[in-house]
Amino acid sequence: MASRRWRKPEEDVAVGRGRGSAGGQNGLLGLAAAYSQGTRAAFMERYMADLKRLADRNDLPEGARWFDSHCHLESILQRSWRGGGKPQVTENEPQVNLEEMVSLWPKGLDGCVSNFAFRRESKPGVPAEWIWIDRHLHFFEPDSPIAGKLWFTIGLHPHDAGNWDASAEQTVRRLAAHPKCVGIGECGLDFFKHDRSEAELQLRTFRAQAMLAVELGKALVIHARLTTQQNEEMFLQELKRIVPQTHPIHIHCFSDSLAYAEELMAHWQNLRIGFTGAITFRDSERGKGGKSKGKAKVKKGEEHCRELVQGLPLQRLLIETDGPYMCPEPFRGQTAHPGHVHRVAERIAEWKNVELGEVMEATWLSTVTVYGLKSSKDPKGS
């Protein structure tokens, strides 16, 4: 395996670090440092053991390839939640830099599509995703040793919908012209975190980007948390009005209804539906630390995810981490990154009762279909 040299904590510029760190007392600091080293080593050991377990599966052929079709490299490296700046990770997780992280991915992982969807900064003093990609384009360029594993999208998330204007459009057009930019988004509507009164604002920002994706011939990456049938119908009409039936679409981290997913798939032949580490969570663990929301009989998250995965054809699915968020079990709570995405594929294989190799093959092909990627499996690959 490649380098295990992790960046020392004092070299790290990440935010959200040091929460709960022992301050002031030298002796305590020494103890804390020793403890941190041990914990970091344990994180690495667990990760490497998981990759070995994966390689030993007898339903994963030697040459199997796969992609993480949706993550956020900037946030994986900065490790901050959008908006709140809340530390995403368990204390003492190893600090990583991009080249080291890529070197530690399993050999079947052909790479990732990283979304850059925030113009606003996630925390004062931390560059926004849009700033980050501008400063780090060199990772995606031919002389970078890891460029062959990286692609990106540019757009504006519904959480940042108020920031769409003429200069935002200019930035999106400029970055979209980069050869490794394969999509516009993630963009869309979110009525889970936002009030319905924001609908017009979110729609305006979404329409502009959907039109751009069509004009530029880039995949449209959609973030939609529609929550009601009425919203699903409204969004479907919007999409039909703007996006031609052959246009590639990735509905990321799908959580709406099965009937709606079926309508989407029937209309757009190159539309794919993405699932994240959230499908590996068990209901008993979902509510950790939370209060019961009453006795109403609602379909639980796990049951809904299973119904979706089992109800949709494998050929229409994508696997994604949405890293750093929703790290799959058994790593829940840590920083998700593309090296964890096989856990999502394993849950799909379990629920669909098919071999893992089949899930990898189908989702690999779907990623290539939606994003037009060239990978090491392809003779024309980078």
Binding positions for Zn ion, rule: CB under 5 A: 322
Place of tokens 């440092």: 33
Comparing CB distances to Zn ion, the nearer of 50 and 322 is 322
SS3 helix, strand, coil % of the chain, rounded to 5? 45, 15, 40
Least distance (Å) between residue 46 CB and Zn ion: 25
Least distance (Å) between residue 341 CB and Zn ion: 13
Comparing CB distances to Zn ion, the nearer of 82 and 352 is 82
Comparing CB distances to Zn ion, the nearer of 129 and 322 is 322
Comparing CB distances to Zn ion, the nearer of 57 and 225 is 225
Least distance (Å) between residue 332 CB and Zn ion: 17
Distances (CA, A) of 368 to 58, 113, 175, 348, 357: 25, 11, 21, 19, 17
Amino acid at position 348, single letter: I
Burial letters 174-183, b for 16+ CB under 10 A, else e: ebbeeebbbb
Least distance (Å) between residue 70 CB and Zn ion: 6
Comparing CB distances to Zn ion, the nearer of 64 and 168 is 168
Least distance (Å) between residue 1 CB and Zn ion: 29
The DSSP bridge pattern shows strands 317-319 and 150-154 to be unpaired
Q: Which residue is nearest to Zn ion (CB)?
A: 322
Residue 252 phi, psi (nearest 5): -90, 150
Comparing CB distances to Zn ion, the nearer of 326 and 345 is 326
Least distance (Å) between residue 72 CB and Zn ion: 6
Three-state helix/strand/coil letters over 294-324: CCCCCCCHHHHHHHHHHHCCHHHEEECCCCC
Comparing CB distances to Zn ion, the nearer of 256 and 322 is 322
Least distance (Å) between residue 357 CB and Zn ion: 27
Least distance (Å) between residue 259 CB and Zn ion: 24
Taken in order 340, 370, 164, 161, the sign of the CA dihedral is negative
Residue 88 phi, psi (nearest 5): -85, -25
Q: Are 174 and 132 in contact (CB under 8 A)?
A: no
Comparing CB distances to Zn ion, the nearer of 93 and 322 is 322
Residue of 250, 248, 199, 202 lying closest to 222 (CA atoms): 250
Quick check: helix, strand or coil at residue 122? coil
Report helix angle 166-176 to 199-216, nearest 10: 30
Continuous segment of H or E residues that includes residue 264? helix 258-267
Least distance (Å) between residue 245 CB and Zn ion: 25
CB atoms near residue 60 (< 10 Å): 23
Comparing CB distances to Zn ion, the nearer of 168 and 221 is 221
